[in-house]
Amino acid sequence: MNLPVQSPSLPYYLGCPVWGCPDWVGSIFRRGAKRHEFLHQYSMAFNSVEGNTTFYGLPTLETVQRWCDETLPGFRFALKFPRTISHEKQLVDAGEETRHFLSVLERLALADRLGPSFLQLSPTFSAAQLPALATYLRELPEEFPFAVEVRHHDYFDHGPTEQALDELLQRLQIDRALFDSRPLFSAPPTDHHEAEAQQRKPNSPLCHTVTGQRPMLRFVGRNNVAAAQPWIEEWAPKVADWINRGLTPYVFLHTPHDQHAPELAKSFHEVLTRHLPQLPALPTWPGAHEPAVPRQRQRELF
């Protein structure tokens, strides 16, 4: 069966925080799909993905090339800076680690698979360290897209610190990654995944500031996708406005259990389409092309 490729006319990038969730077999992935097929089939459904694994360790260049080969044209990886740079060394004396990371980005760029890499700063990275951030960002290659996510409350003061940060990012044409976890903290947890996420995820102040050409929204919903709908309704017109202004947004939808992230992403696109009726529909998920297995056949399989 010939499956549709990712639409090249989608004016923004949409994805999940992972590409290899086994619970997506039968929806994103075909039944019987092997792990080595997950990335290719994911790229049939969405045109971007967060690469959070690079926070913990860098892949080999051979692995990166395989990622490029397995994804459809137009796909983009948005990789997170390694924690050795952002959290352990706090951007100081991190030249060697940065060069290794940039070699990964270069391989993605050569294959036309490079999205904005995001530097997620430690919650302890305060206003006193803003000069270190400026020094570090100025040394990054201008030809690569980057975003910065701050978590210390100093940068949400609606005053001189936040203004200095935004002006720095605007001068360098680096995007400010926007993190919205309001849905996650809107009610007590309903399962252990939500309880763990409320312990692990920050409840950061909300920010809508756009400083570059590729606004990045990282949105954390609930496992009950409908529970996040009020905040989806709030963000959709903002993202539509970015697109109308000629910007290229990146929108990543998180849920406490990754199983539900594709449905949340699909819901976001449906709401966005109400504001931008010309948007093409998302491709049909590879697993959705398959007929349902009859109940009698299911019993035989098990």
Find the helix packing angle between 261-275 and 229-244, rounded to 10°. 50
Residue type, 1: M
pTM: 0.92
Q: Within a domain: residue 208?
A: yes
| pLDDT value at residue 38 | 97
| pLDDT value at residue 290 | 62
| pLDDT value at residue 110 | 98
| pLDDT value at residue 302 | 32
- Could you give the 3-state DSSP secondary structure of residue 126? coil
Q: Within a domain: residue 8?
A: no
Q: Within a domain: residue 156?
A: yes
3-state helix, strand and coil shares in percent for the chain, rounded to the nearest 5: 45, 15, 40
Q: Within a domain: residue 105?
A: yes
Helices (H), the chain: 35-45, 61-70, 83, 95-110, 130-138, 160-172, 192-200, 229-244, 261-275, 295-301
| pLDDT value at residue 254 | 98
Phi-psi sector, 182: left (phi>0), alpha (psi -120 to 50), beta: alpha
Q: Within a domain: residue 3?
A: no
The rounded distance, in Å, linking the Cα atoms of 253 and 276 is 19
CATH number at residue 86: 3.20.20.410
Mean pLDDT, each 10-residue run in order, the chain (302 residues): 52 97 96 95 97 95 97 97 97 97 98 98 97 98 97 96 98 98 96 96 94 98 97 98 98 97 98 96 87 46 33
| pLDDT value at residue 242 | 98
Q: Within a domain: residue 4?
A: no
Find the helix packing angle between 61-70 and 35-45, rounded to 10°. 50
Q: Within a domain: residue 209?
A: yes
Q: Within a domain: residue 102?
A: yes
Domain around 45: 13-301
Q: How many domains are contained in the chain?
A: 1
CB atoms within 10 A of CB 139: 10
